[in-house]
Structure 1
Amino acid sequence: MSEYESPVRAARVEDLPRIVELVHEHVAYEKSHPREPGLEARLRGVLFGQGARVWVLLAQTPQGEVVGYAACSAEFSFWDGRDYLHLDCLYLAEGARGHGLGAALMDGVAGLARERGFGHMEWQTPDWNEGAIRFYDRLGATGRPKRRYSLPVPPPATG
């Protein structure tokens, strides 16, 4: 049995400052560029505003310290003609790894997918993240070789 009991819960508004801290840690861990200021305000609307469309589950220690998160949303598969749950991010602070919290978060996300009627869930991880790949393989997940692209779309010119 893990030292962490019942470690997963839904995020609450008062968790936003800690969620943002963890996001910044996650961005640095994945060697990505820093994000623009104002993330907390942007997340507040999509997580807790009217028509919230993103769900976040938190991993916490028995003392209540939030040490990780899983963020997901509905996506549509054109080939299947139905929605699925997209796990956008799963992150645990370095000291929280290896205690069963990642598996608990994944169980929570799978439960959320079932509750919302999604037939499957999908996610991605950087190809250099061998620890995450081994973790997902142990869960029985299957990888699909694809390359993810990103293209900035500047706002329309004014004037």
Structure 2
Amino acid sequence: MTSRELAAGAVLRPARPGDEPGILACIRALAVYEREPDAVENTEQMLTAALFGDDPRAFAHVVEREGRVEGIALWFLTYSTWTGRHGIWLEDLFVYEEHRGRGYGKALISALAALCVERGYSRLEWTVLDWNAPSIAFYRSIGAAPMDEWTTQRLTGPALEALARA
């Protein structure tokens, strides 16, 4: 994907080295919005390794305006055994509140949808917190459907370590 001009002088583009401080700032702002301000352990160095290292496993697109990252879509590949094709898991979609309503979020998620179509991927998936009504309304407006019959499961910390030893 190449850069794409957006409203108010912003540009949507794939992340590149040097974007790590802006991406991390968005991740931290998202954590505050999601009521988990102390949960972020990520660092600029970890982002560099994940996004731009020898074998990147995570990817990002950014909305940049006047030299500042104003929004992000951080994602990675999934694989569906049912379709036999990859998909994209959208880990984080975030636009600073003062820039919402300009189409930046839609442009970011649209860029991922375009990647799916271009590469023959079968799915674009993500989760949203049950209480996040503005995001849920946005996702419905672009045609996303909830997977009500599925519940996300997670192992972390001591439970993850205990199962690894089992």
The answer for the alignment partner of 1:143 in structure 2 is 146
- Single out whichever of 3-12 and 143-152 deviates more from structure 2: 3-12
- Single out whichever of 9-18 and 71-80 deviates more from structure 2: 71-80
Q: Does 1:107 align with 2:110?
A: yes
CA RMSD between the two structures: 2.0
Q: 2:24 aligns with which of 11, 20, 23?
A: 20
Instruction: Tell me which amino acid in the other structure corresponds to 2:141.
Output: R
**Cα distance in structure 2, aligned partners of 1:118 and 1:7:** 25
Q: Percent identity of the aligned residues? A: 31
Q: Does 1:34 align with 2:3?
A: no
Question: Which 4+ residue blocks in structure 1 deviate beyond 4 angstroms?
Answer: none
Q: Does 1:80 align with 2:87?
A: no
The answer for the alignment partner of 1:154 in structure 2 is 161
TM value normalised by structure 2: 0.83
Equivalent pair of 2:88/2:123 in contact (CA under 8 Å): yes
- Please state how far the C-alpha of 1:11 moved relative to its aligned partner: 0.7
- Single out whichever of 77-86 and 127-136 deviates more from structure 2: 77-86
Instruction: Tell me which amino acid in the other structure corresponds to 1:89.
Output: D
TM value normalised by structure 1: 0.86
**Cα distance in structure 1, aligned partners of 2:9 and 2:110:** 14
Structure 2: unaligned runs, 5 residues or longer: 1-5
- Please state how far the C-alpha of 1:6 moved relative to its aligned partner: 5.7
Write the mapping of 1:92-103 to structure 2, written as runs, cut at 5 A: 92-103=95-106
Equivalent pair of 1:4/1:101 in contact (CA under 8 Å): no
The answer for the alignment partner of 1:133 in structure 2 is 136
Structure 1: unaligned runs, 5 residues or longer: none
Q: 2:121 aligns with which of 118, 121, 125?
A: 118
**Cα distance in structure 2, aligned partners of 1:54 and 1:101:** 21
- Please state how far the C-alpha of 1:18 moved relative to its aligned partner: 1.2
**Cα distance in structure 2, aligned partners of 1:106 and 1:7:** 14
Higher-RCO chain (CA-CA 8 Å, sequence separation at least 6): 1
**Cα distance in structure 1, aligned partners of 2:87 and 2:7:** 32
**Cα distance in structure 1, aligned partners of 2:9 and 2:116:** 22
